[in-house]
Chains A and B, each alone.
Chain A
Amino acid sequence: MANQHNPSNEQLLALYERMLLIRRMEERLRADAAAGKLPGAVHLYIGQEAIAAGVCAQLRGSDWITSTHRGHGHFLGKGGDPKAMMAEIWGKRTGICKGMGGSMHVADLSKGILGANGIVGGGLAIAVGAAFGAMLAGDGKVAVAFFGDGAANQGVFMECLNVSTLWKLPIIFVCEHNQFCEFTPSATVTAGQIADRARAFKIPCAVVDGNDVAEVWAAAGDAVERARAGGGASYIEAQTYRIQGHLEAEALFLAGGKYREEREIDEWRKRDPLERLRERLLSSGAASEEALNAVDLRVAPIVEGSARFAEESEPADPELALQVMFSGQRP
């Protein structure tokens, strides 16, 4: 039965559609990166879609999120426009940031997306500041800081846990534990359990299967409700796995070097969040094959249309940097 901890069939189907959109967009970017069509690096979210989709489904349009260098999923999860994201990654003037930010900086302030971020841990304090603002304004907004296991080793993480707990800020720290800090297995550079760091502050913690969207969704629901009710910060650790490399084209500079085994990736492919949700929908009778195929048919033209829009758009305005560096003054 659908309740706060069990999404309804309609909610599950909506989560499936959002996850599939993220997956197909990322697959398209993977292909375009391999074809050498993209000007900069892309860090893909394949395998982690359940986290952005599950958390963002609990948020309002006006709530804030900060994201990471692996930020396309959060952007799309929070309702960012696929065309504008794709064009941004292509460096086009029709991009959401007019080609000034690129893949690592997709942001849409009108949707509360304070931006992907190229600095590991860079979004944490910005989310805390937005939550501080929400608390002072009393506007009922909450902030979500998405970050990775790598960022958890930045000192700023401890600082943010401290001040958020101290002031009971409406914030949810969502650690996407994807097992890798760039090219280094997380376990080799991380002491203890990351969640214990949050527990030390007595912050409510949920360690969930990040490849199970219903689990993520339920944990996020609890955390968002707590934040809105003035109950302060929460920590969610979503255990997952980075299927793609740190970035596309990494093979070029790894030059044969390896930081993980193919076997391990295959093991995690068996726990693919989309496949699991598909199985669940079918086996429970929540959705038919036809219904799921219809989702595919809705998503495919969005992805294709976004890629075509990006490819056909005009390049960025090279003078724009001088105009937007400051508000109302020349640099």
Chain B
Amino acid sequence: MARKRYIQAVNEALFEEMERDPKVIVFGEDVELAIFGDTRGLLERFGRNRIRNTPICEATLAGMAVGAAAAGFRVVLHMMFSNFIYTGFDAIANQMAKLRLMTGGQIELPITILAGYGGGRANAAQHSDTPHPLLMNLGGVNVLVPATPADAKGLLKEAIRGHNPTFFLEASGRGGDSGEVPDGEYTVPFGKAAVARAGRDVTIVAIGSMLKPALAAAEKLHAAGIQAEVIDPRTLVPLDEQAILASVGKTGRAIIVDEARDRCSAASHIAAVVADKAFAALRAPVKRITVPNVAMPYAPNAEMHVFPSDDQIARVATELVRFRTQ
């Protein structure tokens, strides 16, 4: 166990999985130089038959991932910023997500797609998106949103060893936060949420990078005498509904915090699951804290204005605890 930054945990997982299985290959734009840091050192260790720079051509790269996986490789495709997933979306939505079903299950596609996602760094609208709701809706791909360095390592190793196309969305701007990361073999199963903080009064489901403001809000609420339980789903497909429902069953109140635009966000989906399956336990309306339906503005103050904040989460939680039906 050692303290590491998020991006170092990703790097460690890549090293370990490439050592473990010679069929693991990494390709994408600028992976040799590793501009995010997550692929640093891989070229020197493994050479260009295992990791290589590609032209900037996301549609072809996503299609190539399918072909190389069909040819027996475990593909890690780095798409840099999550907005570039859109550029490659034909091969993702029409080929990668559908080929297994269309072939009647003949094919396995062990593909892991890495991309940094989210705003907050004045990257403007084309480098700040949160495409996880879109990917959740595709049906044939797993969607991972690890928030901590340990989960980043454990989930990435699980993804690379897996059998299905999986999007690993990195909350790694400027290297991400630090945290304790287990050394060596460490995997985190898909579909198992983490209870990031236990509490009895209100459930806060925090998606990906929203874990940090959610935990900060919980700390503020604690000072005000409200015990919030913070649930980190860690993977959105598959989604650990049971963990969320168990928490709401205890607290009777649910807030879902998501950095996605509100309409058809992951928060919308989870809110619907809670309304449907935990109705009897609810003591207050289910609340979503999301980004308004706008593109991410550039100016830092304008960006912070649309971002969910710990104060906003604490305020909504307080309202829910005080909520009384007529």
B178 part of interface (Cβ distance < 8 Å): no
B164 touching A324, Cβ below 8 Å: no
**Contact between A327 and B67 (Cβ–Cβ < 8 Å)?**
no
Are B67 and A133 interface neighbours, CB within 8 A? yes
A125 close to B63 (CB less than 8 A)? yes
Within 8 A of A (CB), among B91-115: 91, 94-95, 99-108
| Known A109-B103, A328-B163: A119·B68 in contact at CB below 8 Å | no
A134 at the interface (CB under 8 A from B): yes
Q: Are A324 and B54 in contact (CB under 8 A)?
A: no
Chain A nearest Cβ from B141, distance in angstroms? 9
Q: How large is the interface on A (under 10, 10 to 19, 20 to 34, 35 or more residues)?
A: 35 or more
Q: Mark A287-322, 1 if CB is under 8 A from B, else 0.
A: 000000000000000000000000000000000110
> Is residue B208 within 8 Å, beta carbon to beta carbon, of the partner chain?
no
Minimum CB–CB distance from A180 to chain B (whole Å) comes to 22
Docked-complex contact B104 and A125, CB < 8 angstroms: no
Contacts of B164 in A (CB 8 A): 326-329
Q: Are B139 and A325 in contact (CB under 8 A)?
A: yes
A148 to B22, CA, bound (A): 36
B73 within 8 A of A: yes
- In the assembled complex, the Cα of A284 lies from the Cα of B314 at a distance in Å of 89
> Closest A-chain residue to B91, C-beta based?
A125
Q: Are A321 and B101 in contact (CB under 8 A)?
A: yes
User: A107 to B71, Cβ gap below 8 A?
Assistant: no
Q: Which residue of B lies closest to A88 (CB)?
A: B104
Q: Shortest Cβ distance from A136 into chain B, in angstroms?
A: 5
Q: Please report the C-alpha to C-alpha distance between residue A281 and residue B61 in the assembled complex, in whole angstroms.
A: 45
Chain B 148-186 residues near chain A, CB threshold 8 A? 163-164
B72 within 8 A of A: yes
Contact A143 B103 (CB under 8 A): no
Report the bound CA distance from A299 to B253 in whole Å. Answer: 69
| Smallest CB separation, A133 vs chain B (Å) | 3
Decide if B101 touches A327 in the complex (CB within 8 Å).
no
Q: A107-B107, A128-B67, A162-B55 are in contact. List 17 more A-B contacts (CB 8 A).
A: A97-B102, A100-B103, A101-B101, A101-B103, A109-B106, A126-B67, A129-B65, A129-B67, A133-B67, A134-B71, A137-B71, A162-B57, A163-B60, A323-B105, A327-B163, A328-B164, A330-B238
Pairs A–B under 8 Å by Cβ, sample size 22: A97-B103, A97-B104, A122-B95, A126-B95, A129-B63, A129-B71, A130-B70, A132-B67, A133-B68, A133-B71, A133-B73, A136-B68, A136-B73, A137-B73, A163-B54, A320-B105, A321-B101, A325-B101, A325-B139, A327-B164, A329-B164, A331-B139
